[in-house]
Chain A
Amino acid sequence: MRRFEYHEPRNLEEVSDLLTTLGNGAFILAGGTDLLVEIRERLRDVKHLVDIKRVPGLSGVDYADETGLRFGAMVTAGQLEAAPGLAARYPNLHGALKVLASIQVRNRATVIGNICRASPSADTIPPLIADGAAIETWRPGGGRVIPLADFFTGPGRSVLTPGEIATAITVPPPAPGSRRAYIKHGRRKAMELATVGVAVSLDTEGGTCTGARIALGAVGPVVLRAPRAEAILVGSRLDAAAVSAAAEQAMQECTPISNVRSSAEYRREMVGVLTRRAVSQAMEVAA
């Protein structure tokens, strides 16, 4: 492993100062499950680690009927997975947490770390985008609230500016009649990166779809929405014909690449299969 300097700031100002002063070689350490492997494997050139575990105010999972879910930057995937009510209100997010790496990793990895890593295959991003989540940041002179759908600019890249820190995620409360699911496609049942991940978040009223958000993971430089596929679902009764047409459309809307994990053609085909299955799983959960 390459050498690095370790910093342990006590508040957000210090974190921000360090990141600004130290520049490109400085990275935030939260759970470290991905970052430390990247340092070890020399995939990331890290000169400074800024550990935020001693910064107050970054823990906690809260839910309120009016404002929805909010969790801080130090909340682990395991903590969120175990949060009361999460599986009932956000079954897609809960499903993604359950298939993220392994129990051991989930007990260490933070959800915001999974998001800020900005991998197109990250499991938690598709359900959070489909659910309309937003990310709260801190920076000198005032933080921002950024819709997660606008957060990513490419693999490993986001709109965060130097010295800006993601502090919390908020997710709106589910409307009555909300139907959600996330399906991950991989070669293994655990310790796996998604070949393709599809999250759906549907609003229904009396059997008719009144709103649809489909988020596609690992089939583009960032997690993608499939707006034209969503438009096909809205107004339909989510019958087989509408779902198949939406799945076909989602296949056209993704932009996968070929690599050692899979060919682009196969990924595209799986977007179709998984979109159909995710809608059907979402409706089953409701039933």
Chain B
Amino acid sequence: MTKQDFRIVGKSVKRADVIEKVTGEGKYTGDYHLPGLLHGKIKRAEIAHARITRIDVSKALAYPGVKAVLTHHDVPKVLHYGSPHPRSASCTKDQYILEDKVRFWGEGVAAVAAVSEEIADEALDLIEVDYEPLPAVYDIDAAQAPGAPQIHEVGPGGNLVIPPVHIERGDVEKGFAEADLILEGEFEGGRPVPTYMEPNVCVADWDGSNKLTFWTSTQTSFMVRGALAEVLGLPLNKVRVLVDHMGGGFGAKQDLFQHEFLCALLARKCRRPVKMEFTRRETFIAGRSRHPFRMWLKQGFRKDGTLVARDMKVIYESGAYGSHSPGVTNVGTASATSLYRCENVRLDGRAVYTNTPIAGAYRGYGVVQTYFAIDIQMDEAAEKLGIDPAEMRLRNAVREGDIAPSGHPIVGRGLEACISHGIEAFGWQAKRGADRGVAGRPSVRRGWGIGCEMHGSSAYPGIKEQGNATVKMNEDGSVTLLTGAAGLGTGAHTALAQIVAEELGVTFESVHVVHGDTDVVPWDIGAFASHTTYLVGSAARMAAAELRERVLARGAEKLQEKVENLEMVDGIITARDKPGTSLTVHEAMGPSRGIPAEHLIASGSYMPTKSYSFAAHFVEVEVDTETGIIECRTVVPVHDVGKVIHPIAAQGQIEGGIQQGIGHTLTENYVIDRTNGRSLNAGLVDYKMPLSMDMPDIRTIILEAAPDPGGPWGAKGVGEDPIIAIGPAIANAVYDAIGVRFHHYPITPEDVLNGLRARKKELQDAGI
């Protein structure tokens, strides 16, 4: 199909869910109110590492309105994982629902169900817990120090979550020997959290047949089903997980959370439905953050800018449990084989436990950290070699045939296209030659920077994924798509309906999407890894293609025409060479003399390997040298995402990723007190996300430069990409503005002033 033939794909159709969202009719998990509903709350430890020596719930149980209290004495003792990917080797069983041990400040130690949320909350204060404190570690260094207290009995020891990941290609020593310039640096990053609008929430209800129905705000409903079934000792068909609309997830809602088990257990104990809903504070304490990290990076370059060797050690801080650390460590470490082509790499990746809240999956999964470091060092190398930073990246950009982190050859020249296009669109050369001063504002300096990224659509090879779709055509020609893919709010269901309508030859409005009920829809691995449109979209297209053949066969019978002579466009079947010989899909599917009405069903299953999307971000910043405040003024993000299915939705993903990326780089950091493990800013007052007023002018450019044969019409992922390149682009622009290099995020105003002072002293000492 050539480009101009598209009728639905590539157009920004009105999202199918837009009216119900705008009117408030759309149902979120918190909107479910069942008769007899109880409310659950979790008692949280106020100590970071301890053994529980006594826990007394008698007063709480006696409190009027309280229906049940659970402690570690009352729950199944099943060691389980937090990152429940059944096809993944990379999950770590290291947690119990409740245990006589506490591993981070804020961990749940008991749960209450009561007739109101207020009563449940009040009853928490009546639970008495005695702790025997244990020595604790609050950062990577302390966790790795000789003789450090061990947080887990399982695992390889030394507070490691998994054995170190080691990747070696080529000969690193030989590469360094050939280098004209060798750079070495240390980098680190804070603890951003995905502040989704909808706090975690679930509702559990058991029926008389001992079947659990479970509404929960999750990206991975089938994984929740699997883990609940395993831990509760139920067959999969006795656990039904439902999720309709979601207020975001950003990766973090693909864990199995402690409150989800406890909600199900409280409901079983009370024989009444129970709802548990996090407060905003709990989304910090008991949610999932990005992994804080430390990284050492050494790279060698030839005079012409060619990268010849890369040696890297990265350590991710997992917090108290493993969660997604195995995946993050593998993906993040492997990411450093690529972006800028390098034949000689030696990479070491680790994840360590600390007595802090749990780090999990978050958009940009392990890669935000490594590419931040790599792209800053690339800038340093460009300056030392006297090469323009954008040109430096063009020379080294990964391209067609290079081996990607997944082990596959790269398809196309997407990264080069993004860089080249951005140089023109941003006016890079002219800007970099302009004055860094700002007229009338003597304390302000301007600067321009670039950052690049690539990210895989799908989690292959870490997880061997499978996308499934079932497409039904009803007797009236209307179409139902059944998919297990969750709708985080990204518009993925709209994209899937577009794909079905396009392939089938019906209107977009005639396709209805059914999702989020594990008893009804085909199995799905979950909405993550930027793969829904790529993976499920391909399965949906396969199912639609099969259905189309069958609908046309029926049309041929009714029209008395050869099937190969028919085409179907916008729900009308026409004979190609006989104008006027046509019928609607409604007529085709309905009954006529001798032909009963029919209901057709087709399914598609797709197992992808991997594709990569690319981006280059060009930014302008202003730095106030008196206050240290950095303002990101303009971003020109240039993305290659293959075939674009819904341009406005893709653009929305890019803008949202940039907003979060600006937050990571400048203002967002969930801070843990390193003396006792307490949270210092678990709330939106002091955890500072940039808001609409803080957003720069964003001029998004989406290219279709390197379509991937694995996705529908060449479509690739877009969800995670935009959060990655913005960070180093800002850090590089800040350097361009004030000549101070930062190797960490967030870069605070105070860091800027201290950096300026250090630079001033350096210049004075050097006699400049």
Chain A interface helix/strand/loop/mixed: loop
Give the CA-CA distance A185 to B683 in the complex, in Å.
20
Residue of A nearest to B118 (CB): A3
Per a CB cutoff under 8 Å, which of A260, A262, A270 touches B671?
Answer: A260
Q: Is B557 engaged at the interface, CB distance under 8 Å to the other chain? A: no
Residue on A with the closest CB to B666? A187
Asked whether B122 lies within 8 Å of A2 as measured between CB atoms, the reply is yes
Chain A residue total in the interface (Cβ 8 A): 22
Partner of B686, one of A2, A3, A261: A261
Contact indicator A41/B683 (Cβ below 8 Å): yes
Let me know if B159 is at the binding interface, CB within 8 A: no
- Closest B residue to A261 by beta carbon equals B686
B693 interfacial contact with A, CB 8 Å: yes
Partner of B693, one of A40, A189, A193, A262: A189
Q: With A3-B122, A40-B279, A273-B626 in contact, is A190–B688 under 8 Å at CB?
A: no
B693 with A190: CB separation less than 8 A: yes
Query: Provided the pairs A40-B279, A188-B690 are in contact, do residues A193 and B685 lie with their beta carbons within 8 angstroms?
Result: yes
The contact of B691 among A185, A191, A193, by CB within 8 Å, is A191
Q: A187-B667, A191-B691, A260-B686 are in contact. Are A2 and B121 (CB under 8 A)?
A: yes
| Contact bitstring B112-129, A, C-beta under 8 A = 1, else 0 | 000001100110000000
Complex contacts, A2 vs chain B, CB 8 Å:
118, 121-122
Closest B residue by C-beta to A269: B753
B178 on the A face (CB < 8 A) = no
A217 to chain B, nearest CB (A): 16
Q: Which B736-750 residues sit within 8 Å CB-CB of chain A?
A: 749-750
Q: Which of B122, B683, B691 has the most chain A CB atoms closer than 10 A to its own CB? A: B691
B contact residues around A263 at 8 Å (CB) = 750
The 8 A CB mask of A243-279 against B (1 = contact, 0 = none) is 0000000000000000011110110011001000000
Q: What B residues does A40 contact at CB under 8 A?
A: 279
**Shortest distance from the beta carbon of A174 to any chain B beta carbon, whole Å:** 28
Residues of B within 8 A of A192 (CB): 688
Number of interface residues of B (CB under 8 A): 26
Residue A270 contacts which of B121, B627, B694 (CB distance < 8 angstroms)? B627
A1 within 8 A of B: yes
Please give the residue numbers on chain A whose beta carbons come within 8 Å of chain B beta carbons, in ascending order: 1-3, 40-41, 185, 187-193, 260-263, 265-266, 269-270, 273
Question: B750 touches which one: A260, A266, A273 (CB < 8 A)?
Answer: A266
B681 within 8 A of partner (CB): yes
Q: A188-B690, A260-B686 are in contact. List 7 more A-B contacts (CB 8 A).
A: A3-B118, A185-B627, A187-B666, A188-B667, A189-B691, A260-B671, A262-B750
Whole-angstrom CA separation of A82 from B603 in the bound complex: 61
**CA–CA, A163 and B449, complex, Å:** 60
Whole-angstrom distance between the Cβ of A155 and the nearest chain B Cβ: 15
Tell me if B281 counts as interface (CB < 8 A to partner A).
Answer: yes
Bound form: Cα–Cα A2–B694 in Å: 34
Query: What are 24 of the A-B contact pairs (CB < 8 Å)?
Result: A1-B118, A1-B121, A2-B118, A2-B122, A40-B279, A41-B279, A41-B683, A185-B627, A187-B629, A187-B666, A188-B667, A188-B690, A188-B693, A188-B694, A189-B693, A192-B688, A260-B681, A260-B686, A261-B686, A262-B750, A263-B750, A266-B750, A266-B753, A270-B627
Nearest-Cβ distance from residue A100 to partner chain B, whole angstroms: 14
User: How distant is the Cα of A283 from the Cα of B623 in the complex, in angstroms?
Assistant: 25
